């Protein structure tokens, strides 16, 4: 009996050690976040073991775990009709709000889920519930795109999938089928989905053949650049769940089918050192010492290496491609973008990507709403139902949908 108690105490202590991580007191529901983070880390470790055993690629294994526990069928309710179909060969899940006599034409939203271009799905519960809520509360048709993921495909295939599905939806006959007002269509996405939404938004304004234009873009904690992994938010949140800096850098490398040997060098900005000519001209586009307010920069210092690893950008030139990193786009491109909403979270390595993009858009004359949450963390907006319901998740979702309601 005594030995059992000792063993139990040891197991509890071990579990507490594994789960506990020091978090700022300003973070929403910190203990619940620790549990969520521990669950995700456990799934990552299982997938890495599967990879080491040669049974599957670690990202395929990890996504199998995520989708297996969260997949939801296309289930309609009295308020929202949900169907799985394809738009020009790209799988989509369509959410249609109930018809209203006073509004014969609905708003349209193209939504792109996050997951580091490698994980999650339009068909898991988190995104299904988000898009259903949007369709109901906005009286909208929401098209959630099931774009293909790493490692089955790599950049720029994800962008191509989103472009194809969105262009299909924007066709007059398709909008008529779904009773969508062609003047009230927006594009949106979170995290890597926000990256894809921003990239598609930039591409569409340069497409003279596109008749129906996007009225708004709404970017939720978007990832927008791979030039500097030492912005103040990357430095402040380098070990913050659920997206530590090294994980974000690995997502970039995976997206471009790059070499993991480069990750540590990229973390200290050796890929964009002063001897990397390709990076020099782009540095002004994200000079965070001028783009970020003093309340954000605090005492953080830029990390600019004099000499680095020039091989990285030679082998992965996409790191500095504006199609992959929309924050690097020229001002001439930015000034034509539609009204924009950007949601950022204090406890997120990507915070400054969003704030800098908002500043650059504002300087280009674009109407921008920057919605910042001091207690938010990366990914929080999709965590709104038990057991992963966070107060900041509910508040961010409500604020996001409210903006769409007022501007779309």
What is the tens place of the pLDDT at every residue in 22-75? 888 889 898 899 899 999 899 999 999 999 999 999 999 999 999 998 899 999
pTM, two decimal places: 0.96
Residue 271 gets which letter from DSSP? G
Measured distance CA(396)–CA(133) in Å, rounded: 13
Q: Which run of H or of E encompasses 143?
A: strand 140-145
- For 207-215, the CB contacts below 8 A with 24+ separation are 210/167, 210/170, 211/170, 211/172, 212/170, 212/172, 212/175, 212/182, 212/185, 213/338, 214/185, 214/186, 214/187, 214/338, 215/183, 215/184, 215/185, 215/186, 215/338, 215/339, 215/407, 215/408
Report pLDDT for 5: 61
| pLDDT of residue 10 exceeding 90 | no
Average model confidence (pLDDT) across the chain: 94
Which positions ≥6 away from 358 have C-beta within 8 Å?
340, 342, 368, 370
3-state secondary structure of 218: strand
The pLDDT of 140-149, averaged and rounded, is: 98
Catalytic positions: 191, 348, 378
- pLDDT, tens only, 115-138: 999 999 999 999 999 999 999 999
pLDDT for position 99: 85
Instruction: Give the long-range contacts of residues 151-158, CB within 8 A, separation 24 or more.
Output: 151/57, 151/59, 151/60, 151/118, 151/254, 151/257, 152/60, 154/255, 154/256, 154/257, 155/117, 155/255, 155/256, 155/318, 155/324, 156/323, 156/324, 158/117, 158/196, 158/255
- Max Cα–Cα distance, the chain, nearest Å: 77
pLDDT at 314 (0 to 100): 96
pLDDT given for residue 230 in this prediction: 98
Could you give the CA distance from residue 306 to residue 304 in angstroms, rounded to a whole number?
7
- Over residues 146-176, the pLDDT tens digits come to 999 999 999 999 999 999 999 999 999 999 9
Asked if the model's pLDDT at residue 316 lies above 70, the reply is yes
Give the contacts of 72 (CB within 8 A, at least 6 positions apart): 123, 124, 125, 128
Which pLDDT score is estimated for 12?
42
Cα separation, 111 vs 92, in Å, equals 10
Place of tokens 């996001």: 400
Helix (H), strand (E) counts: the chain: 17, 8
pLDDT band at 377 (very low <50, low <70, confident <90, very high): very high
Got the DSSP string for 291-345?
Answer: HS-HHHHTT------SS--HHHHHH-GGGG-TTT-GGGS-HHHHTT--EEEEEEE
Q: In the predicted model, what is the mean pLDDT of residues 98-114?
A: 93
Task: Classify domain 68-225+323-406 at the CATH superfamily level.
Answer: Alpha/Beta hydrolase fold, catalytic domain (3.40.50.1820)
pLDDT at 20: 78
Domain boundaries, the chain: 68-225+323-406
């Amino acid at each position: 009996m005594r030995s059992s108690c000792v063993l139990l105490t040891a197991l509890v202590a071990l579990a507490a050690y594994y789960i506990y991580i020091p978090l700022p007191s300003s973070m929403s529901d910190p203990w619940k976040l620790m549990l969520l983070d521990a669950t995700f880390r456990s799934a990552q470790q299982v997938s890495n073991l599967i990879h080491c055993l040669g049974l599957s690629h670690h990202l395929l294994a990890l996504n199998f775990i995520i989708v297996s526990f969260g997949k939801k069928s296309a289930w309609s309710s009295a308020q929202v009709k949900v169907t799985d179909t394809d738009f020009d060969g790209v799988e989509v899940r369509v959410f249609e709000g109930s018809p209203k006599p006073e509004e014969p034409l609905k708003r349209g939203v193209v939504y792109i889920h996050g997951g580091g271009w490698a994980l999650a799905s339009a068909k898991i519960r988190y995104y299904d519930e988000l898009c259903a809520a949007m369709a109901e509360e906005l009286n909208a048709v929401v098209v959630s795109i099931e774009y293909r993921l790493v490692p089955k495909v790599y950049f720029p295939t994800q962008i191509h999938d989103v472009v194809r599905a969105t262009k299909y939806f924007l066709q007059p006959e398709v909008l008529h089928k779904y009773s969508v007002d062609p003047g009230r269509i927006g594009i949106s996405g979170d995290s890597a989905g926000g990256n894809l939404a921003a990239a598609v938004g930039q591409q569409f304004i340069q497409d003279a053949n596109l008749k129906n234009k996007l009225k708004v873009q709404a970017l939720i904690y978007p990832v927008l650049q791979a030039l500097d992994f030492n912005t103040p938010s990357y430095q402040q949140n380098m070990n913050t769940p659920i997206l530590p800096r090294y994980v974000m850098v690995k997502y970039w490398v995976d997206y471009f089918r790059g070499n993991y040997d480069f990750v540590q060098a990229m973390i200290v900005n050796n890929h964009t050192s002063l001897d990397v000519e390709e990076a020099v001209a782009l540095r002004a586009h994200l000079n965070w010492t001028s783009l970020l307010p003093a309340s954000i920069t605090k005492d953080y210092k830029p990390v600019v290496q004099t000499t680095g690893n020039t091989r990285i950008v030679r082998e992965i030139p996409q790191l500095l491609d504006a199609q992959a990193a929309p924050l690097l786009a020229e001002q001439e491109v930015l000034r034509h973008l539609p009204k924009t909403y950007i949601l950022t979270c204090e406890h997120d390595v990507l915070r400054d990507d969003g704030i800098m993009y908002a500043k650059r858009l504002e300087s280009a004359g674009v109407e921008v709403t920057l919605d910042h949450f001091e207690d938010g963390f990366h990914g929080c907006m999709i965590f709104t139902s038990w057991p992963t319901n966070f107060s900041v998740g509910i508040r961010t979702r409500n604020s996001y949908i409210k903006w769409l309601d007022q501007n779309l």
